[in-house]
Structure 1
Amino acid sequence: MHFNRRQILAAMGAGALVGLPRPSFAATELMLGSAKITTVSDGHLVLPMEFLLGNLPAADAAPVLAQYGITGTVIEPPCNLTLLQDGERTVLFDAGSGSGFMPSAGQVLDALEGIGVSADDITHILFTHAHPDHLWGVLDDFDDPVFSNASYMIGQAEWDYWTDPETVKTIGAERASFAVGAARRLAAIEDQMEFISGGQEVLPGIMAHDTPGHTPGHIAFEIRQGSESALVVGDAIGNGHLAFARPDWVSGSDQDAELGIATRTRLLDQLATDQMAMVGFHLPEGGLGRVERDGDAYRFVMEV
């Protein structure tokens, strides 16, 4: 495998994540045989620290976070979308936030343009899950489809959850808008949607894996060319610090915290053992790297 990193467009604004400069439109590339994987930025989120910590005491997390330069009451996770170009298909994993979620996100169309790809070039969009920063970018400000030539794939369990009218009543007040927004956007693209499940080769060279916990039907995607592979993990490994240093801790962003722990620890062990490349949606510097063991924990190693 050969990695290289390049800046696509100039950084916009100031700020830092995990103690490192955060470019708005950074792209990383990985060649798997003749296929090219590129990560492109949709910008970043601005969230209260409680969204990460949940019920975890801040005093317990503070020493770990301080090692990454994270202090204060706000976190700004990056949003990395994965693009696969294999000569026949141009596949985007997730669709970004669009303009309706946060002003700091929704920039993926500019990032794609920076590498010479338009929305009309996308042939398939594969969803890891239906949270706003992964789904809401399918519609523009006029509720018209952004990716007019694309077909869509989502896990059947994920679809069933977000289209169930009871979800908005049970998901909790802080996430009720997620449910309303997901149901509306999924209904708009239903005619172009194909339902998938873990263990299925959804496209040639792309295998779906069940990775529930962050959401009920979260799916990761393994891209394989011969003996080389990379895993698009979505939010199953949700950050580059606590998720690696203390994967056994509850994440406030997971809807099923205990299932999220089980999925996260399983994936980290697999990735470290197999030394498989990975892309994390909210991991730093484009999210492309690998996992190394660090005693009883793990660390994310970015490839340059």
Structure 2
Amino acid sequence: MQFTKRAFLASGAAAATTLALPRRGWTQTVQQVGTMEITTLSDGNLMLPAEFIFGPMPQDELAGVLAPFDMMPDQALTPPCNITLLRHGDNVVLFDCGAGFAFQDSAGRLGDALAAAGIDPLDVTHVVVTHGHPDHIWGMLDDFDEPLFYNAEHLMGETEFTYWMDDATVNSIGEERASFAVGAKRRLEMMEGNMTLFADGAEVLPGVTARMTPGHTPGHMSFVIADGNDALMVVGDAIGNHHVAFARPAWESGSDQDLAMGAETRTALLDQIAADNMTLIGFHLPNGGIGTAERDGEGYRFVPSA
């Protein structure tokens, strides 16, 4: 079977494509923010065709931008999936909950990571959602279609929730992403009775403030986690990789639903993060996803935390 963008976007086909692939091992990276402990846990990795990200980019310039990363424009991509875990007082908070069992076989490893960290899913008090794509929310339900984080309050931006719950989305999102819409709506309907919605700028939990960062999806949210003078930002997929997203943030990425808005959001975020010397956590960034952005020529470079 040829590994194409269409094959990836059709979840069933994507699972079939990756059945024989090895699973990534569990990893964790820890960062302290004041009295808050931040840990990133591995949900495995995705398998993406190059065109899923690189398709709309200037092809005559792309090879030169990728060369420092030992990458080629036609190279299949295997981005990691980093789930952020916040422990503060009695709160055990997950930012997103992974792909679960039904998306790609190379992902859905959060259960292993939680077990290695000594956390039972029933210990989780809150699940805070950046956006409704499969690798971020399909892990809400277990393989019996029951809520996996049964005791947790689930929180999602109102704009994002409304988008995925709208019956019209499956017909407007495009044929290749229609399965995303079906899967998201089914899971959000199951969780609707335990879902708290919030707006841009809301303090969703003590020390956690939502920031609208649209483009990747219409209501994508990032989150600033702060305690005293310490702060970091969970950026989800607003900054979706460590190569072109940093080196050429203004280039449109095929992974974004609104390509122009995604590029505008990404550029503004990196400008702020670099200017403020703020730590960030990216869902698909390497080395646990925690690091900083430094100016580098026309763009930036990702510097992982030690």
Same fold (TM over 0.5): yes
Q: Does 1:33 align with 2:34?
A: yes
Which residue number in structure 1 is paired with residue 55 of structure 2? 54
| Amino acid across the alignment from 1:52 | I
1:18 aligned residue:
none
For this pair of structures, how many residues does the alignment match?
Answer: 286
SS at match of 2:287: coil
Report the equivalent of 1:94: 96
- Residue identity in the other structure for 2:299: A
Picking from 232, 239, 242, the partner of 1:237 is: 239
Matches within 5 A, 1:1-304: 24-71=25-72, 72-304=74-306
1:111 & 1:175 partners in 2: Cα distance? 28
TM-score normalised per structure 2: 0.91
Matched residue, 1:7: none
Judge conservation of contact 1:132–1:178 (CA < 8 Å) in 2. yes
- Structure 2 CA distance for aligned equivalents of residues 91 and 55 of structure 1: 36
Q: Cα deviation per residue 1:191-250 (whole Å; 9 max; x = unaligned)?
A: 000001111111110000010000000000000000100100000000000000000100
Q: Deviations over 1:248-282 (max 9, x none)?
A: 10000000111111110110011001111110000
1:57 Cα deviation after fit = 4.3
The structure with more helix, counted as a fraction of residues? 2
Which consecutive residues of structure 1, in runs of 5 or more, have no partner in the other structure? 1-12, 16-21
Q: Percent identity?
A: 53
Deviates more, 1:209-218 or 1:140-149: 140-149
Give CA deviations for 1:111-162 in whole Å, capped at 9, x if unaligned: 1111111111110000000000000000011101110110111011101111
SS of aligned partner of 2:69: coil
User: How far apart in 1 are the matches of 2:225 and 2:147?
Assistant: 26
Contact 1:54 1:253 in 2 (8 A): no
Shift of 1:87: 1.9
The residue identity in structure 2 corresponding to 1:201 is E
CA deviation vs aligned residue, 1:86-123 (integer Å, no higher than 9, x gap): 12200000010000000000001101111111111110
CA distance in 2, matches of 1:227, 1:296: 30
Which range is displaced more, 35-44 or 292-301? 292-301
- Report how far residue 24 of structure 1 moved: 2.6
Give the root-mean-square deviation of aligned CA atoms. Answer: 1.5
8 Å contact 1:54–1:250 — kept in the other structure? Answer: no
AA paired with 1:56? Answer: M
Inter-partner Cα distance in structure 2 for 1:230 and 1:138: 25
Amino acid at match of 1:31: Q
Per-residue deviation, residues 1-30 of structure 1 (Å, max 9, x unmatched) = xxxxxxxxxxxx999xxxxxx963111100
Larger proportion of strand: 1
Give the superposition deviation at 1:186.
0.3
Residue 84 of structure 1 and its aligned partner are, at CA, apart by: 0.2
**1:31 counterpart SS class:** strand
Q: How many angstroms apart in 1 are the aligned matches of 2:67 and 2:25?
A: 23
Distance 1:202 1:160 in 2: 18
Shift of residue 296, structure 1, vs aligned partner: 2.7
Q: What is the one-letter code of the residue matched to 1:68?
A: F
Q: Which amino acid aligns with 1:244?
A: F
Give the C-alpha shift of residue 32 in structure 1.
Answer: 1.1
Q: Is the 1:224–1:230 contact (alpha carbons within 8 Å) kept by the matching residues of 2?
A: yes
Structure 2, gaps ≥5 residues long: 1-19
